[in-house]
């Protein structure tokens, strides 16, 4: 193809920009002649189109009947998803399917029928309507005059005292309602500092609630852990709120693999380490532990933490390491917390830096 393709560059002098009218153009040929459809010229075709449309309407009626047959005819009730008795589940599935198909057919029948009717039997001559300016200049001038008259008659410009007090009241009046929003919740960020963990609180398995003997934690194993005192809370006492902060992941690594920084030497029990399970990115529970690489992976946004290196971020969007829970063994051999976390758990927030400093001061 084309040596003509270079024309654009050569003839750029005939280019019309949005500001340069006047290029020679083809005249608008007007609407193309109307091509009659088969149904326009052949009465038999028109009749058969009519029959097709009514057949579609009949299908719609049958669809509606199918719905009622499924609704009243299929006996549902009983225990669903019971492996010993799968019948109710199958009946529910069948009913859901047939109800939906009934509605689908009753709608399709009407829809396709009416569109077919419009396409074959209603006139298909294109028609022309003219556009008008959205608003005439004269109208706009008149409207402007009216508004100016209104303002003048109200006297708002002539009486500044009226105007200023009105502005003041109109600003303040809605604020009364905005004030209601104040009691949407408490306004004390320091609640984020602490969890239920405390000195001597036993680590128990989630969800069974049984305490964990240090000797039971084998090398390479991992436990989902809760504080033992959590089960004493009822729902109304904020069980879920406390659980959301207190969830912990417990792992045992070879002590020689662990990097331990100064001040944390006694936070692990012979390679058993406990870290907050709440992702420091936006708070999902970190559920995946890869034993071979010691990596913890958050399934929500794939933040990856290295359990061997004090759960520092090795990949993904999290901005800081998981807080470590210092643990010890009690007289009966069960794992207990030495204290609460030494920094707030979960995602970072505006006051977090301040809280970290304050909490460091508290422990000293």
**Segment 173-202, which members bind another protein (CB under 8 A)?**
181, 184-189, 191-192
Half-sphere exposure of 24 (CA within 13 A, CB side): 2
Q: CB under 8 A: which stretch of 250-258, 266-274, 325-333, 352-360 binds another protein?
A: 352-360
SS3 31: coil
Shortest distance in whole angstroms from residue 327 CB to another protein: 19
**For residues 345 and 194, is the Cβ–Cβ distance under 8 A?**
no
290 binds another protein (CB under 8 A): no
Size of the site for another protein (CB under 8 A): 119
Q: CB under 8 A: which stretch of 159-167, 208-216, 295-303, 325-333 binds another protein?
A: 295-303
In 191-317 the beta strands, taken as DSSP E runs, fall at 203-205, 222-227, 248-252, 272-276, 288-290, 295-297, 304-306, 312-315
316 binds another protein (CB under 8 A): yes
- Exactly one of 22, 35, 43, 127 binds another protein (CB under 8 A); that residue is 127
Q: Which is nearer to another protein, 164 or 221 (CB)?
A: 221
292 binds another protein (CB under 8 A): no
Beta bridge partners of 211: 204
26 binds another protein (CB under 8 A): yes
222 binds another protein (CB under 8 A): no
Residues between 67 and 126 that touch another protein (CB under 8 A)? 71, 76-82, 88, 92, 95-101, 103-105, 107-115, 117-119, 122-124, 126
Q: CB under 8 A: which stretch of 149-157, 212-220, 250-258, 276-284 binds another protein?
A: 276-284
CB neighbour class for 199 (10 Å; exposed up to 12, middle 13-18, buried from 19): exposed
299 binds another protein (CB under 8 A): yes
Beta bridge partners of 57: none
DSSP structure class, residue 206: T
**For residues 338 and 324, is the Cβ–Cβ distance under 8 A?**
no
What's 303-314 look like in SS3? CEEEHHHCCEEE
Shortest distance in whole angstroms from residue 129 CB to another protein: 4
Q: Which two tokens stand for residue 82?
A: 């019971």
208 binds another protein (CB under 8 A): no
**For residues 80 and 35, is the Cβ–Cβ distance under 8 A?**
no
**For residues 330 and 202, is the Cβ–Cβ distance under 8 A?**
yes
Q: CB under 8 A: which stretch of 149-157, 163-171, 316-324, 333-341 binds another protein?
A: 316-324
Residues between 136 and 165 that touch another protein (CB under 8 A)? none
59 binds another protein (CB under 8 A): no
């Amino acid at each position: 193809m084309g040596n003509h393709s270079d024309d654009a560059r050569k003839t750029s002098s005939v280019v019309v920009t949005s500001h340069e009218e006047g290029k020679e153009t083809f005249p608008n040929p007007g609407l193309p002649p109307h091509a009659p459809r088969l149904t326009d010229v052949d009465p038999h075709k028109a009749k058969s189109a009519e029959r097709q449309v009514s057949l579609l309407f009949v299908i719609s009626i049958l669809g509606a009947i199918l719905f009622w047959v499924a609704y009243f005819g299929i006996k549902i009730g009983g225990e669903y998803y019971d492996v010993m008795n799968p019948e109710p589940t199958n009946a529910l599935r069948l009913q859901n399917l047939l109800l939906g198909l009934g509605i689908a057919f009753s709608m399709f029948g009407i829809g396709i029928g009416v569109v077919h009717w419009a396409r074959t039997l209603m006139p298909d001559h294109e028609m022309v309507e003219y556009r008008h300016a959205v608003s005439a200049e004269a109208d706009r001038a008149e409207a402007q005059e009216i508004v100016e008259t209104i303002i003048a008659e109200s006297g708002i410009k002539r009486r500044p005292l009226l105007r200023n007090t009105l502005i003041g009241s109109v600003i303040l009046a809605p604020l009364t309602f905005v004030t209601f929003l104040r009691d949407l919740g408490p306004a004390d960020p320091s609640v984020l500092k602490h969890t239920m963990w405390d000195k001597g609180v036993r680590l128990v398995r989630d969800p069974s609630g049984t305490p964990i003997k240090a000797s039971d934690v084998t090398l390479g194993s991992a436990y989902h852990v809760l504080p033992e005192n959590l089960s004493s809370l009822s729902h109304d006492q904020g069980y879920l709120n406390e659980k959301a902060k207190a969830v912990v992941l417990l792992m045992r690594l070879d002590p020689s693999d662990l990097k331990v920084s100064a001040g944390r030497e006694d936070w692990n029990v012979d390679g058993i380490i406990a870290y907050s399970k709440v992702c420091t990115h936006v708070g999902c529970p970190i559920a995946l532990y890869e034993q071979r690489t010691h990596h913890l992976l958050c399934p929500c946004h794939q933040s990856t933490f290295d359990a061997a290196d004090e759960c520092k971020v090795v990949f993904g969007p999290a901005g800081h390491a998981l807080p470590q829970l210092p643990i010890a063994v009690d007289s009966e051999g069960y794992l207990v917390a030495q204290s609460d976390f030494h920094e707030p758990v979960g995602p970072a927030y505006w006051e977090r830096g301040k809280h970290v400093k304050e909490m460091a001061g508290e422990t000293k």
